[in-house]
Each structure stands twice: as C-alpha cells, then as structure tokens.
Copies of this chain bind each other. A is one copy, B any other.
C-alpha cells in the first residue's frame, strides 16, 4: 500500500505496490532483516520467515532479547533483498545493480494458539526446504513452548525493482567501453549428509 513512508525519495518509478509483486519477492527470498529501535538506538537481525496470505511470520527463542522487544509491538521495518545482477555502464556514475526488494512497516502480533504456532513453524521450515515438515520427528510441547512466533501485517509493504541494462548518458554511449549486465543467482549445491544419514536415501525434494 502506498503511504508516505512507503514512497521512496529516489527512483520513485521503481516502486511497486501490487500484492502479487510483493508476495513473489517474499516467497523467493530466504531471509529478511528486521530493524527496530530502542531509545533511538537502531538494531537489526537477519532471520528466516514465511509468508501466509497478507502476513509475514517469524520465530525465535523465548529468551531472545530481540524477540522480547519486538513482541511488545514496537514499530519495526522489515527488509528483503534479492540481488539479481551487476549493471556495468561506461561511467562509474551510471553503474547500478538489478534487484528486487521489499520494505515492510509493521508491528508484531504474538501468535499464542498452539496449533497456529505449529503451523507457522511448518510454513517457515517448508519455505526453506519445500515438503520437509511431513518427514520430521513430531514437535514436542516443550519445543513449542520455548519458541515465540510473531506475525506482521503486509498492509504497509512496498517493493522496489530495477531490471535491464545500463542507462548511460547519450554522449557516453559510443565510448568503446564494455557495458552490460552480470546476472547473479543463488544456487543450491549437492546435499551433504550428516554421518547419521549416509545410509539413508536422499528425499525426493532434495
């Protein structure tokens, strides 16, 4: 949703507010960085998450200082970035990067219901490794009790996207300097089994 604080001061034409665009970035990225401030001092933490409908879910230890502050409902800013490429121009000034990013302004709601907490942990696990949860040893009540789950609305989320090649100044375009894009990609390498699992078949989702 476009609000004063989701409207960028620079490159406003790169801003996007459609839920579909925001969701696709959130569903592809593997972690978010959550920023908060205590007495004017900013702090930030990278953490795993999942998106379900118009909400973002995170989890953490009940003993985490960060979780205990954020669960009070203080304002947070959640940042997700996918770096898609390096954009090489003919001048340093016109160098850029291709990226898809999301910024969310929100406050936490604590998920108290036991079954909803388990579902959130399943979603966070399956986001990193699709279909993983069904294979796992069942969660215990103690594990769920030791874990806090927080939920954030995506109502005040916005995306910013840059794609394409360099935008050199017209007077630079004929210079004999190579310009173009180096695409970047995050890849998953071959699975390395734990010593307890060397004799076990690799699950199909890996």
Most-contacted residue by chain B among A61, A125, A202 (CB, 10 A):
A125
Once the chains bind, are A136 and B180 in contact (CB under 8 Å)?
Answer: no
Interface residues of A, dominant DSSP: mixed
Which of B46, B92, B103, B206 meets A182, CB within 8 Å?
Answer: B206
How many of chain A's residues have a CB under 8 angstroms from any CB in B?
90
Q: Shortest beta-carbon distance, A189 to chain B, in Å?
A: 4
Which residues of A179-206 are within 8 A (CB) of B? 179-197, 200-203, 206
Check if A113 is an interface residue, CB within 8 A of chain B: no
Write out, one digit per residue, whether chain A residues 122-149 have a CB within 8 A of any chain B CB (1) or not (0). Answer: 1001001100110111011001000100
Q: A180-B191, A197-B179 are in contact. Are A103 and B137 (CB under 8 A)?
A: no
Asked whether A186 lies within 8 Å of B184 as measured between CB atoms, the reply is yes
Contacting pair B44 A44 (CB below 8 A):
yes
The reply to whether A35 and B44 form a contact with Cβ atoms under 8 Å apart is: yes
- The docked-state distance in angstroms from the alpha carbon of A179 to that of B135 is 11
Are B37 and A42 in contact, CB atoms less than 8 angstroms apart? Answer: yes
CB distance from A195 to the nearest CB of B (A): 8
A43 contacts partner chain B, Cβ-Cβ < 8 Å: yes
Cβ of A36 to closest chain B Cβ, rounded Å: 5
Contact with B along A99-120 (1 / 0, CB 8 A): 1010101000000000000000
Q: B residues within 8 A CB of A132? A: 88, 95
Measured CB to CB, the nearest residue on chain B to A39 is B40
| Residues of chain B within 8 A of A133, CB atoms compared | 92
Which of A19-27, A50-58, A71-79 makes up part of the contact surface?
A71-79
Q: Which 5 residue pairs across A and B have the least CB separation, nearest first?
A: A37-B37, A35-B35, A9-B65, A183-B189, A180-B193
